[in-house]
Structure 1
Amino acid sequence: MASKKRGGKAIVVGGSIAGLSCAHALIAAGWEPTVIERSGVPPSRSPTGAGLGLDPQSREIISRWISNPDLLHRSTFPLSVDLNRATNSEEKISRTLTRDESLGFRAAHWADLHAILYKSLPPDLVLWGYQFVSFQVSEDKSKVVAKAKVVQTDELVEIIGDLLVAADGCLSSIRQQLLPKFKLRYSGYLAWRGVLDFSGKEDSDIIVGIRRAYPELGDCLYFDLANKTHCVLYELKNKRLNWIWYINGPEPEMKGTSVTMRVSDDMVKKMHEEAEKVWVPELARVMKETMEPFINVIYDSEPLPQLFWDYVVLVGDAAHPTTPHGLRSTNMSIVDAEILGHCLEKWGLENLHIALKDFQDLRLPVVSDQVLHARKLGRLKQGLLLNDQKTFFNPLMSTSDECLQLQQRTMPYFQGAPTAS
């Protein structure tokens, strides 16, 4: 019987879903992770109120990490149906373009999934209120040293490990140190997002109306396509409706270190007015009744040439910023973590470079294909030209074959990414 490989100590930068997933996978591999996160406390609710879709592979992975696998099922809603519809904005009617009844996803709220992952970790593993500053390799070339600032005191501390895992999102400061010339690519559109909490209002006119217009809510991922715009709608657990409306336009001027924009009352009012022009009345009303809608500016990037450098590895959106149309971001992060853990367990600390090379060989082709395909889906649904076409997709004049391109199952590795070389 082969001897168990020696684990090491890993510094994981970022306490969102990617970082917590890495912590779980590292523990399973026999490593000791320390997660550093700029936020001062665990989130009690999502600051951006985002919904997400989990595919079967990700759910199976998470179920092995957590102590009560049934909790994940009970905290999510099924998304069995992938339904794309064309909306005629003048007549305010919709017709089906393509329907897939075997999607197999489940809908989760960001805060719910984060809580499930966090509460299944050992206490004190996440250092809340620690802002990553920089990293360097130790003088003897044996360790990586991360510097972090304690937010409350401004104290600068050093954390020493055998591996630095960059799970710090699409604006990753670690990636910026490794690839100083790297730039995100603006997609050509932004997204209004919101979650309508209708608890206690299940029999209200707005909920009765939206269920009439969208009768499969609770089991369906709706994509409504109008002229050069589209909207996503699905139901979340605990009486919530998640919607995302994509709008073409020039890249806005961003301030700070977030892809989420602050919005004014005037911006929200104009969004409501435009929604009434574009969408069926029931959907426009859901948008109007949603508290605190916000804007995400949509970016992705060209696939990176590599995912690791010596003692540093990129995972999640730090490794592959992607547009959201293939429901890939969270799922890619979870699979990244799982495969990183497998490779580290297989090769051990003594073969760290081989382990990271194995991880890169497994993940880079997959995530590169998925990022580019998600970009294609977004451009199709937004009526933007693709590189190899001279005409844009028109949902009101599309053929059946053209509509099949809209389905989620056209995503490379839709049935699951390879986990072993």
Structure 2
Amino acid sequence: MNENEEIPKALVVGGSIAGISCAHTLIKAGWNVQILEKSTTPPTGSSTGAGLGLDPLSQSLIQSWLSDPHRLLQSTLSLTVDQNHATTDGETKGRRILTRDENFNFRAALWADLHGLLYNELPSEIFLWGHQFLSFSKSEDKASMKITARVLQTDEIIEIVADLLVGADGCLSSVLQTFLPNFKLRYSGYCAWRGVLDFSENENSDTIVGIRKAYPELGKCLYFDLGSATHIVLYELPKKKLNWIWYINQPEPQLKGNSVTMRVQDEMVRKMHKQAEKVWVPEFTRVLKETKEPFINVIYDRNPLEQLVWDNVVLVGDAAHPTTPHGLRSTNMSILDAAVLGKCLEKWGPDNLQSALAEYQSVRLPVSSKQVLHSRYMGRLKQGLALPDREPFNPRVATPDNCLELQQKNIPFFNDVPQLIDATRKSI
């Protein structure tokens, strides 16, 4: 860029992992970045929240954004095995291995820890906390735009001028609603009870000794137990925590507010515990009972979009492609979106913004669309729901070939590295 040229400005709506990943890559590409986030303060690490799995490409990209790449390894645990079991109901709850992949090479992280790791590497002044995106208008030549936002603490309306608007505001994206107001989320047919058990102060308790005996490779294995029209996920997180998810088929619940999670009453939790006793091994049920503040996540995705770019507006992360969690894709897609967008902007320069955004869309749209649809298929498979052209999956009678469909590595583009960022990855 010529020294006399003005540095281009990007406004990112959303300060979650997708948004702060974009901040890293756009700053590296030479852009000024500001992040608009309606939460009033940065999230802090806690024992509640959600776990996630980072694939090898995401690990490499995150390390390239950190001043000390080893901090990612210090704040995550290795997941080298992807294993699926069949579980039987009744008095004797037996488990048998359906499929096992020992070359998984993911890492487990707590969402808040990963967010904090990325957030702390960014200049604090780029964040506008407690600001709600309202609308935007384009200049006559479409070269820039004016974004309006509400300061939640004072109700003041402010305006921000930017050359690029990045919608990283999640599956209920207000930016997307501007263009497609009737394009809704699609309910999957099931919800998930979720929780994180912090056992840092009682790691020798009967519950922890028992769960380690029942699941002896905790600390390196991503476990799936499949029952009758239900399944659970279990894996260990850093700092002596266990992440668990229990998927249950049910009609779509009525949500309150702008969220896909539900707070639960004590009576709902007690009923969940009783149901778990009927379905799962007692060691897992005890983990559920000792978890503080479990919550319900209503599982949605969306049919793939036909575009991710409108003039100077681009979508990333769950705003672009909300997906069910069965392929461990949501965070990984967000990180890769950010990396590709940054590389496209760097390659084409600010004078060729439309070419940069067109290339971003051409690289990411086919990949994310297929991954959303495959994650949807995997969810229906593991939940025993209707499948196209075949009977619902039954883990108790499934053939070995059928069981291979359960593996994470079957997702399209599982090991794909876009040419744009291949050089970046190899330099780490």
Tell me what 2:40 maps to: 40
Tell me what 1:248 maps to: 249
Q: Which amino acid aligns with 1:313?
A: V
Post-superposition offset of 1:303: 0.6
Query: Which runs of no fewer than 5 residues in structure 1 stay unpaired?
Result: none
The two structures have a TM-score, normalised by structure 2, of 0.96
Post-superposition offset of 1:133: 0.9
Post-superposition offset of 1:141: 2.8
Q: What per-residue deviation string (whole Å, max 9, x for no partner) do you get for residues 25-80 of structure 1?
A: 00111111100100111111369610000000001001011111100000000110
Residue pair 2:142, 2:312 contacting (<8 A) in 1 also: no
Tell me what 2:74 maps to: 74
- Alpha-carbon separation, structure 2, partners of 1:132 and 1:21: 19
- Alpha-carbon separation, structure 2, partners of 1:256 and 1:340: 31
Query: CA 1:46/1:39 → structure 2, altered by over 3 Å: closer, same or farther?
Result: farther
Q: What per-residue deviation string (whole Å, max 9, x for no partner) do you get for residues 186-227 of structure 1?
A: 000000000000011011000000000000000000000000
- Alpha-carbon separation, structure 2, partners of 1:160 and 1:386: 48
Q: Which amino acid aligns with 1:219?
A: K
Q: Which amino acid aligns with 1:141?
A: K
- Alpha-carbon separation, structure 2, partners of 1:166 and 1:156: 19
- Alpha-carbon separation, structure 1, partners of 2:6 and 2:337: 21
Post-superposition offset of 1:7: 5.2
Q: Which amino acid aligns with 2:9?
A: K
Task: Give the 3-state SS of the residue equivalent to 2:254 in structure 1.
Answer: coil
- Alpha-carbon separation, structure 1, partners of 2:63 and 2:331: 15
Task: Give the 3-state SS of the residue equivalent to 1:252 in structure 2.
Answer: coil
- Alpha-carbon separation, structure 2, partners of 1:166 and 1:405: 34
Residue pair 1:7, 1:29 contacting (<8 A) in 2 also: no
Post-superposition offset of 1:3: 8.2
Tell me what 2:163 maps to: 162
Task: Give the 3-state SS of the residue equivalent to 1:256 in structure 2.
Answer: coil
Query: CA 1:6/1:80 → structure 2, altered by over 3 Å: closer, same or farther?
Result: farther
Q: Which amino acid aligns with 1:392?
A: P
Task: Give the 3-state SS of the residue equivalent to 2:361 in structure 1.
Answer: helix
Post-superposition offset of 1:181: 1.6
Tell me what 1:327 maps to: 328
Residue pair 1:7, 1:345 contacting (<8 A) in 2 also: no
Matched, 1:221 2:226: no
Q: What per-residue deviation string (whole Å, max 9, x for no partner) do you get for residues 80-107 of structure 1?
A: 0000000112221111000000000000
- Alpha-carbon separation, structure 2, partners of 1:100 and 1:284: 26
- Give % identity: 64
- Alpha-carbon separation, structure 1, partners of 2:49 and 2:120: 20
Residue pair 1:197, 1:240 contacting (<8 A) in 2 also: yes
Tell me what 2:403 maps to: 403
- Alpha-carbon separation, structure 1, partners of 2:66 and 2:19: 15
Q: Which amino acid aligns with 2:195?
A: G
Tell me what 2:276 maps to: 275
Residue pair 1:6, 1:30 contacting (<8 A) in 2 also: no
Post-superposition offset of 1:122: 1.4
Residue pair 2:47, 2:241 contacting (<8 A) in 1 also: no
Q: Which amino acid aligns with 2:97?
A: T
Q: Which amino acid aligns with 1:413?
A: F
Post-superposition offset of 1:6: 7.9
Task: Give the 3-state SS of the residue equivalent to 2:420 in structure 1.
Answer: coil
Residue pair 1:7, 1:344 contacting (<8 A) in 2 also: no
Comparing 319-328 and 140-149, the one that deviates more:
140-149
Query: Which runs of no fewer than 5 residues in structure 2 stay unpaired?
Result: 422-428
Task: Give the 3-state SS of the residue equivalent to 1:321 in structure 2.
Answer: coil
- Alpha-carbon separation, structure 1, partners of 2:275 and 2:51: 23
Supply the RMSD in Å over aligned alpha carbons. Answer: 1.5
Task: Give the 3-state SS of the residue equivalent to 1:200 in structure 2.
Answer: coil
Q: Which amino acid aligns with 2:230?
A: T
> What is the correspondence of 1:16-415 to structure 2 with a 5 Å cutoff?
16-45=16-45, 49-90=49-90, 91-389=92-390, 391-415=391-415
Task: Give the 3-state SS of the residue equivalent to 2:125 in structure 1.
Answer: coil
Residue pair 1:321, 1:371 contacting (<8 A) in 2 also: yes
Residue pair 2:165, 2:314 contacting (<8 A) in 1 also: yes
- Alpha-carbon separation, structure 2, partners of 1:12 and 1:261: 27
- Alpha-carbon separation, structure 2, partners of 1:366 and 1:43: 30
Post-superposition offset of 1:136: 1.3
Post-superposition offset of 1:419: 4.2
Task: Give the 3-state SS of the residue equivalent to 1:337 in structure 2.
Answer: helix
Task: Give the 3-state SS of the residue equivalent to 1:134 in structure 2.
Answer: strand
- Alpha-carbon separation, structure 2, partners of 1:47 and 1:258: 20
Comparing 323-332 and 259-268, the one that deviates more:
259-268
- Alpha-carbon separation, structure 1, partners of 2:323 and 2:108: 19
Residue pair 2:200, 2:241 contacting (<8 A) in 1 also: yes
Q: What per-residue deviation string (whole Å, max 9, x for no partner) do you get for residues 144-191 of structure 1?
A: 111111111111001110000000000001101111120110000000
Comparing 284-293 and 85-94, the one that deviates more:
85-94
Number of matched pairs: 419
Q: What per-residue deviation string (whole Å, max 9, x for no partner) do you get for residues 336-377 of structure 1?
A: 000000000111111111110000000000000100000011
Post-superposition offset of 1:111: 0.5
Q: What per-residue deviation string (whole Å, max 9, x for no partner) do you get for residues 305-356 of structure 1?
A: 0000001000000000100000000000000000000000111111111110
Task: Give the 3-state SS of the residue equivalent to 1:420 in structure 2.
Answer: helix
Task: Give the 3-state SS of the residue equivalent to 1:86 in structure 2.
Answer: strand
Q: Which amino acid aligns with 1:53?
A: G
- Alpha-carbon separation, structure 1, partners of 2:86 and 2:159: 55
Post-superposition offset of 1:416: 2.8
Task: Give the 3-state SS of the residue equivalent to 1:368 in structure 2.
Answer: helix
- Alpha-carbon separation, structure 2, partners of 1:10 and 1:178: 19
